[in-house]
Amino acid sequence: MPSYKAPVRDMQFVLHEVLKIGEFDYPQFNELDQDLINGIVKEGARFSEQVLAPLNLSGDREGCTRNQDGTVSTPKGFRAAYASLIENGWTTLVHDSEYGGQNMPRVLGTAVNEMLASANTAFSTYQGLTGGAIEAISIGGTDEQKKIYLPKMVSGEWAGTMDLTEPHCGTDLGMLKTRAEPQADGSYQITGQKIFISGGDHDLTENIIHLVLARTPDAPQGVKGISLFIVPKLLESEGEGAGRINGVSCGAIEEKMGLHGSATCVMNYDAAQGYLLGEVNKGLNIMFVMMNVARVGVGMQSLAQSEVAYQNAALYAADRLQGRAITGPTNPEGPGDPIIVHPDVRRMLMESRTYNEGSRMLVYWASLQGDLEGTAERSQAERDCSSDLLGLITPVVKGYLSDIALKRTVDCQQVFGGHGYIEEWGMSQFVRDTRIAALYEGANGIQALDLVGRKLAMNSGRALMTLNAQLDVFIAENNDNEAIFDFVSAVESARGKLTDGTMWIMQNGAVDPNNVAAGSVDYMHMMGLLALAFMWGKMASVAQAQIDAGNEDEFYTNKLITGRYFIRRVLPLIDTHLALLKTGAEPVMALSDQAF
Amino acid sequence: MPSYKAPVRDMQFVLHEVLKIGEFDYPQFNELDQDLINGIVKEGARFSEQVLAPLNLSGDREGCTRNQDGTVSTPKGFRAAYASLIENGWTTLVHDSEYGGQNMPRVLGTAVNEMLASANTAFSTYQGLTGGAIEAISIGGTDEQKKIYLPKMVSGEWAGTMDLTEPHCGTDLGMLKTRAEPQADGSYQITGQKIFISGGDHDLTENIIHLVLARTPDAPQGVKGISLFIVPKLLESEGEGAGRINGVSCGAIEEKMGLHGSATCVMNYDAAQGYLLGEVNKGLNIMFVMMNVARVGVGMQSLAQSEVAYQNAALYAADRLQGRAITGPTNPEGPGDPIIVHPDVRRMLMESRTYNEGSRMLVYWASLQGDLEGTAERSQAERDCSSDLLGLITPVVKGYLSDIALKRTVDCQQVFGGHGYIEEWGMSQFVRDTRIAALYEGANGIQALDLVGRKLAMNSGRALMTLNAQLDVFIAENNDNEAIFDFVSAVESARGKLTDGTMWIMQNGAVDPNNVAAGSVDYMHMMGLLALAFMWGKMASVAQAQIDAGNEDEFYTNKLITGRYFIRRVLPLIDTHLALLKTGAEPVMALSDQAF
């Protein structure tokens, strides 16, 4: 059975030594001293390793069950684990203390969520999506709605869902058909079918609060006529009618490639009672706020799966004896050498390791921008800076990191040879569970279009200028540091290539917009590579300073070795993506539609 | 449910117009007129589309069952389909007429096998492995053994397996422990456990002939002490003892990521009666002949899965309405445009299409070298040429094509968005079934080592010189053809880069052999890219000649468009691989074993 050990040391490095989150003293956050943070991380590690990880393989095998009465049961052990999750307050971490939260910054929540997702991604979806729903109600809800729903959702007693997709409409929400009929009492009757609803029904909580996109009778066509509704599974939380079942039911559970422990439901709304969240026809605004948080979460989940896959591959490579090192036996007494001696095995491990450490830094850094953009004590310019960086990097964190995570879990599976294909080793599950990350919360092609079509152009290109300014600061601060000269020049060179690509897009998009769309995924990968180079630069700078100060902890030398692997063996891909971007629309569009 | 339509036109193009197999008149082959070939391809298409494809999804869901009595049942419908397979003589196609075969060339068998594997890879493994066992007995068997086993294996009444792997030894066969005790009657008693045995037991045939690697009591250590044995499931095919059960049984069926319709068995040999095949301690020689045939088969299977995944993605992209073309609606009356209008969707389809057509050409070309190397009427030099090309390209066909096929099936799944993750659409199965190709018959890292460590060096590098001579001929013949100038110069440029990489390996391998091993997969991918460029050049030359002659069939213009996509958007990866190859062992090996 696969195992998981939370990378606590690396998390501490990112949180304390690079991002220095313990130094914040913004009043919106609880007091963030280093010990408190470390205590939370260590407790999260223990919970993930001991409670969640042992349920991962069994949860995959058993999956969720829709019972004859239409209720949904989660795999064995999930209920007890969930009870323990809320008992220990894990659902409350980043939420507002007004509703029972702990007021911790989002970046710390991301660190904890990484561990939950490494240990058991399927399990982690239930509380992950509830977090999104809490966010939406916090933004769009009335005071009364907040009072009704938030305390029980923050405590984890109730769960939440996001209900967007319908059978005929996923990406193109303008096509959605679910109807919302206004009632005399100010509520709405919701009727329609939603698909792909994660946690649409389950047995972990007593109530589930669905946030449902639907159209009112007189709504304009397309995306401008979509409203958002709160549709609880059980109506009236208190008083006589408490617990009355609403007209919402799970019609089926989808059979998926992976994530079997997460119930993906077809949800039927049959004149279900719903309450408008926010304004009529403005539902997408709130949904997109949720989606952006969820997209950073998908990047986190991608990293989390690659991390646990790497750990198991590294253990196997140290354990499995097969063949001899090409430079001479390292285990002459044994029947063979451990396969970690073989350069190609080590290559696959290094690819994953450098991805994991770089991505952890990137995801935490992005989450921190989310904290900083909302910090009232900072100047508007400072907040805009964080907002720009977060907006620009969100599609990259979602799209690029999930694209690469799949390759990394596949590589880690490859380390096992034929055993990697056998379910009991668990490597197949990591690949299957990771595969969803490129598909949900907006397929990766949509992320790439969001990046090139929206984020680059917003505010006259301010976000990219903001990123460039950050890169300038990094380069200026480290330019004289000869020990990490290779990191600094890698960032500078990668930035030059991205600029080249951006210029190409600006010049050729005007000629034919398909030029931009055809190369959008290449551009997204370029920005992902630059972002990781930047993150590696920041980490290298901190690690080198420790070494220069005489710190002999091997953690720092290993950090530099792992970073240099990225610079030398991963970053060169940026050249290919630039070359492909510049081929433009012609090779992609030349074949007629009918010829496919 | 996914569908499959055999790409008959493209197969005919490769077989007749490029490889011109109908023009062979070697006596070892049946008369190969074009009509006969087309008839076989069309019948194979019908059988694959109508009999096998409908059983693919259901076979995946049901999987194989080990019954309480230890027997194994294949999924519903497989027995009837197998009966139809042998009734129509499909198992006999490429085998010797002396044993009931049809004496068709291997290249034609490959075309038929491609269709079987596209329609139902799991089903196709049963007869595919029997083909390998027939090959082994043909090479190593005595006349009596051939007479006993081959007729019923060729007819398909009996099946065959290859039994190499043991729990502690896969790649490193020198570690195997299965024992073979010589008996007074000249037979052996075989005792041990084998794992990952495809078709180890099943209900499709009355008997299964296992080819088992084992050690005799006085065998030398390591790979020089391995012998090969024929171990039938049922002993004595005739006479009084007919049908006596041998001491061989299936202990378990592995639960795999995919290929569920193919029974992957743990096989227990308990003093089973076996017969030496070939010479004592020379078992691997025969096994490697089988393995090489099987490796080309894995390349074929990779192509086959990518082909069927592409077909379904193209159908979905033409059918699914979502969003509007960036250049203006193409379906203004409908609620949205078909998603094939979106450049990124089309990019994923083009990636697959150009891979499929290029790989088909490469796999057929490699199979043809297998036919030509064994053609007694050709000169020794001609036969050596074919033998060199086949030996050199076999690890590339296996390793490179399977690496890429996984990416292509993932891309085709991506076209479906969230629906791609739902099993009923079938795209998940294509990904899961394809995943095995990089793992079995020697994991891809082993293929890369075989290429750089063995195939490059054999006969003082003759094989690579042979390939270069072929490339010279192609370039010389097409150098003045301005219409396909881009194809010719792409081949020339890619060849230059491969040569650069080869030189680097020769110079740096001597310094540190890890330099070669660390870059071996990059080198394999470089050769794969060059090989596909070469194949595209050959196809472009034929297609252009048709166009020049006034042929207005769009097949030819589409062929050139698809080839140009490869040249412009796939081949540039060769630069990255060359750059990575040249980073050498240092970044890969720098981290200490203990730090992982």
> Which residues in chain B have Cβ-Cβ distances shorter than 8 Å to A321?
168, 175
Would the CB atoms of A517 and B445 count as touching at under 8 Å?
Answer: no
For B196, which residue in chain A has the nearest alpha carbon?
A: A418
Confidence of residue B240 (pLDDT cuts 50, 70, 90): low
Which of A166, A307, A373, A441 is flagged as catalytic?
A441
Would the CB atoms of B572 and A593 count as touching at under 8 Å?
Answer: no
pLDDT at A22 over 90: no
Mean pLDDT across A266-280: 97
* Contact yes or no for A156/A91 (Cβ under 8 A): yes
Q: How many CB atoms lie within 10 A of CB A576?
A: 20
| A166 vs A187: CA distance, rounded Å | 22
DSSP bridge pairs for B194:
B267
Q: How many CB atoms lie within 10 A of CB A73?
A: 18
Residue B460's Cβ-side half-sphere holds a number of Cα atoms within 13 Å equal to 0
**Percent of chain B scoring above 70 in pLDDT:** 99
The pLDDT, as a whole number, for residue B239 is 58
Spatial CA neighbour of B213 closest among B162, B157, B140: B162
| A486 vs A56: CA distance, rounded Å | 41
Residue with tokens 């891309």: B411
Q: What angle do CA A496, A502, A508 make, to 5 degrees?
A: 135
Q: How many CB atoms lie within 10 A of CB B549?
A: 8
Would the CB atoms of A342 and B517 count as touching at under 8 Å?
Answer: yes
pLDDT tens column, B376-392 = 889 999 999 999 999 99
Would the CB atoms of A587 and B596 count as touching at under 8 Å?
Answer: no
Q: How many CB atoms lie within 10 A of CB B20?
A: 12
The pLDDT, as a whole number, for residue A390 is 97
The gap from C-alpha A238 to its chain's centroid, in whole angstroms, comes to 35
Mean pLDDT across A116-143: 96
pTM of the predicted structure, to 2 decimals: 0.97
| A281 vs A298: CA distance, rounded Å | 27
Amino acid (1-letter code) at residue A205: T
pLDDT tens column, B344-380 = 999 999 999 999 999 999 999 999 999 999 888 899 9
The pLDDT, as a whole number, for residue B24 is 78
> A268: part of which helix (H) or strand (E)?
strand A264-277
Q: How many CB atoms lie within 10 A of CB B498?
A: 24
Contacts of A288 (CB under 8 A, 6+ apart): none
> Which residues in chain A have Cβ-Cβ distances shorter than 8 Å to B349?
596
Q: Touching check for A570 and chain B: CB below 8 Å? A: no
pLDDT at B593 over 90: yes
Would the CB atoms of B421 and A257 count as touching at under 8 Å?
Answer: yes
Confidence of residue B25 (pLDDT cuts 50, 70, 90): confident
The pLDDT, as a whole number, for residue A238 is 58
Q: How far is CA A220 from CA A380, B324, B521, in A?
A: 35, 18, 56
Mean pLDDT across B65-79: 97
pLDDT at A237 over 80: no
pLDDT tens column, A137-186 = 999 999 999 999 999 999 999 999 999 999 998 888 989 999 999 999 99
- Return mean pLDDT, chain B: 96
pLDDT at B243 over 90: no
For B555, which residue in chain A has the nearest alpha carbon?
A: A595
Chain B from 175 to 194: CB within 8 A of any A CB: 175
**For residue A375, what are its two tokens?**
């910090």
**For residue A425, what are its two tokens?**
């080793």
DSSP bridge pairs for B519:
none
> A214: part of which helix (H) or strand (E)?
strand A207-214
Q: Is B281 left (phi over 0), alpha (psi -120 to 50) or beta?
A: left
pLDDT at A584 over 90: yes
**For residue A477, what are its two tokens?**
């601060």
Min Cα–Cα distance to chain A from B22, Å: 28
Confidence of residue A566 (pLDDT cuts 50, 70, 90): very high
For B579, which residue in chain A has the nearest alpha carbon?
A: A572
Would the CB atoms of B340 and A414 count as touching at under 8 Å?
Answer: no
- Return mean pLDDT, chain A: 96
E-state strands within B254-323: 264-277
| B391 vs B397: CA distance, rounded Å | 10
The pLDDT, as a whole number, for residue A23 is 82
Confidence of residue B248 (pLDDT cuts 50, 70, 90): very high
| B436 vs B443: CA distance, rounded Å | 9
pLDDT at B473 over 70: yes
Amino acid (1-letter code) at residue B50: Q
> A159: part of which helix (H) or strand (E)?
strand A158-163
Instruction: Provide ipTM, 2 decimals.
Output: 0.97
Would the CB atoms of B418 and A196 count as touching at under 8 Å?
Answer: yes
| B101 vs A380: CA distance, rounded Å | 81
The H-assigned helical ranges of A416-519 are: 427-435, 444-449, 458-478, 485-511, 513-518
pLDDT tens column, A187-208 = 999 999 999 999 999 999 999 9
- Phi, then psi, of B180 in degrees rounded to 5: -130, 110
The pLDDT, as a whole number, for residue B23 is 82
Confidence of residue B238 (pLDDT cuts 50, 70, 90): low
- Phi, then psi, of B426 in degrees rounded to 5: 85, -10
Mutation choice for B interface testing from A326, A339, A447 by most B CBs within 10 A: A326
**Percent of chain B scoring above 90 in pLDDT:** 93
Would the CB atoms of B418 and A572 count as touching at under 8 Å?
Answer: no
| B296 vs B393: CA distance, rounded Å | 9
Confidence of residue B244 (pLDDT cuts 50, 70, 90): confident
For A560, which residue in chain B has the nearest alpha carbon?
A: B591
Q: Touching check for B336 and chain A: CB below 8 Å? A: yes
**Percent of chain A scoring above 70 in pLDDT:** 99
The pLDDT, as a whole number, for residue A240 is 61
Mutation choice for B interface testing from A257, A320, A515, A570 by most B CBs within 10 A: A257
The pLDDT, as a whole number, for residue A239 is 58
| A415 vs A146: CA distance, rounded Å | 49
Confidence of residue B32 (pLDDT cuts 50, 70, 90): confident
Confidence of residue B22 (pLDDT cuts 50, 70, 90): confident
Cα Rg for chain A, rounded, in angstroms? 24
pLDDT at A241 over 70: no
**For residue B484, what are its two tokens?**
């396909």
Amino acid (1-letter code) at residue B80: A
Task: For residue A441, indicate whether it is catalytic.
Answer: yes
Max Cα distance, chain A (Å): 83
- Phi, then psi, of A163 in degrees rounded to 5: -115, 95
Chain B from 514 to 553: CB within 8 A of any A CB: 514, 517-518, 520-521
Chain A from 223 to 282: CB within 8 A of any B CB: 254-258
The pLDDT, as a whole number, for residue B337 is 96
Q: What is the DSSP letter of A370?
A: H
The pLDDT, as a whole number, for residue B582 is 98
Q: How far is CA B370 from CA A145, B391, B452, B455, in A?
A: 73, 9, 21, 16
Spatial CA neighbour of B309 closest among B351, B280, B276, B281: B351
pLDDT tens column, B277-312 = 999 999 999 998 888 889 999 999 999 999 999 999
Chain A from 387 to 426: CB within 8 A of any B CB: 406, 410, 413-414, 417-424
Amino acid (1-letter code) at residue B335: P
pLDDT at B241 over 70: no
pLDDT tens column, A517-540 = 999 999 999 999 999 999 999 999
**For residue B260, what are its two tokens?**
């569920």
Amino acid (1-letter code) at residue B397: V
* Contact yes or no for B382/B372 (Cβ under 8 A): yes
**For residue B321, what are its two tokens?**
């309405």
A&B contacts, CB < 8 Å: 247
pLDDT tens column, A398-431 = 999 999 999 999 999 999 999 999 999 999 999 9
pLDDT tens column, B574-585 = 999 999 999 999
Q: What is the DSSP letter of B220?
A: P
The pLDDT, as a whole number, for residue A242 is 67
* Contact yes or no for B593/A318 (Cβ under 8 A): yes
Confidence of residue B28 (pLDDT cuts 50, 70, 90): confident
**For residue A427, what are its two tokens?**
């490597």
The pLDDT, as a whole number, for residue A335 is 93
Mutation choice for B interface testing from A307, A340, A522, A568 by most B CBs within 10 A: A568
Contacts of A469 (CB under 8 A, 6+ apart): none
Q: What is the DSSP letter of B98?
A: G
> A211: part of which helix (H) or strand (E)?
strand A207-214
Mutation choice for A interface testing from B347, B433, B573 by most A CBs within 10 A: B347
* Contact yes or no for B109/B93 (Cβ under 8 A): yes
